[in-house]
Structure 1
């Protein structure tokens, strides 16, 4: 029997290591792979398929191109910015006529047609930028302690926030996969009331799961969060 692949799309400034560390907890129901980080390396290059380089649609095109030949069953899990990229990747796969995800876990982000509350970070001066990043959490602590590391990481991190903040939803036909929206009880950037409208973006099943914590409940309530994900992968029919 084939094993479900869970493709994870990291948040802005997120480490692949955090997502890869979920592998043991989600086995044997899923094989964890990280997607969505690689295309940032080419964010300054022209995207051959048209979207603005470094934008969410351009990243989704790059991810979809890597997945277009995938024959094994798979699911998507994206947190914060990653939820947008996962959503647009699913839409792009459909446009290509390729297999899409069985389930889309949209974590820590408002429904894509809604504006995100809170300040925009990408254009802030450095001191204010890092202050706001620190308040959000989810960024490695060593960045807060080492000036050189912050200076090296800042361009990519700003580019990732810029992609999220410049994203504009383009109306289209809803997906047909199951969507599970996950929201933190204390998340001011993606409150429960604004995560619930993810239900409008699928004609398939929809579930809303509320997890204790702020914007990075994926780390702060890791065990409970992964339990919610695992329970949706158990018993999924594998084609």
Structure 2
């Protein structure tokens, strides 16, 4: 098994079905998605959740982190090629959306298998300038406060130096990775796009998320949901209902095709 697919099992044994590869937000890891399988099964989503674990976090904490998007995507493409040769969907939130879309572009350029659809949440379209966010080299207090303000860190954990000493290096390198990926080539993506935005997101506006529509070479949908930048966590049940409606559609299309 590739090191990108965590050996830790989800909290619920997943069924066979179309695989949904989930890429994490900055500072996050595969654990953000391990509860999703049970919730999606309850909604008859007909999908197998596959959290992608990037190096330098959680059980891969001691591995060097990528700070260059092209280098990361090149490695992901090589390591996941076998898994991505079967019918699948890609999902990414914030930084994860950047990674997932770049992976589709790379695989399209080399004629590899593409996902049935690309699901993106809380990330601006690639032609737009980077949002105003703490610089990767900002002081610990400034960076932690910025992350907490967006909902990325519970306020109660700001007083725990051990937690911050583990999280902040990951967040810094992830911010560097995001900044390295601002020159994405123009042109449509050859798969359906499904866009989600938080109405109260102070980092990425609804309009900046919906601007992905100009890259929709195979159709798109767009939904705005209550909540801020981490609306998928604020109302996880509500978001999973939206996601299940999408995944059922692709499962049905495969059966009737």
**Same-fold status (TM-score > 0.5):** yes
Shorter-chain TM-score: which interval? 0.7 to 0.9
Contact 1:118 1:188 in 2 (8 A): no
Q: TM-score, normalised by structure 2?
A: 0.82
In structure 2, the residue matched to 1:204 is 218
Contact 1:36 1:59 in 2 (8 A): no
Q: TM-score, normalised by structure 1?
A: 0.88
Q: Determine if the alignment matches structure 1 residue 151 to structure 2 residue 168.
A: no
Q: Determine if the alignment matches structure 1 residue 34 to structure 2 residue 42.
A: no
Q: Determine if the alignment matches structure 1 residue 19 to structure 2 residue 33.
A: yes
Contact 1:23 1:31 in 2 (8 A): yes
Contact 2:133 2:203 in 1 (8 A): no
Helix, strand or coil: the match of 1:208? Answer: strand
Contact 1:2 1:72 in 2 (8 A): no
Q: Determine if the alignment matches structure 1 residue 118 to structure 2 residue 135.
A: no
Contact 1:78 1:85 in 2 (8 A): yes
CA separation in 2, counterparts of 1:98 and 1:118? 35
Write the deviation string for residues 5-51 of structure 1: whole angstroms up to 9, x where unpaired. 0000000112422211101122351100112523776546xxxxxxx
Contact 1:68 1:93 in 2 (8 A): no
RMSD of aligned C-alpha atoms? 2.2
1:164 to 169, 178, 185: 178
User: Where in structure 1 do 4 or more consecutive aligned residues deviate above 6 Å?
Assistant: none
Please, which runs of 5 or more residues in structure 2 have no aligned partner?
A: 1-14
Aligned-pair distance for 1:61?
A: 1.5
Query: Aligned pair count?
Result: 231
Helix, strand or coil: the match of 1:97? Answer: coil
Contact 1:11 1:80 in 2 (8 A): yes
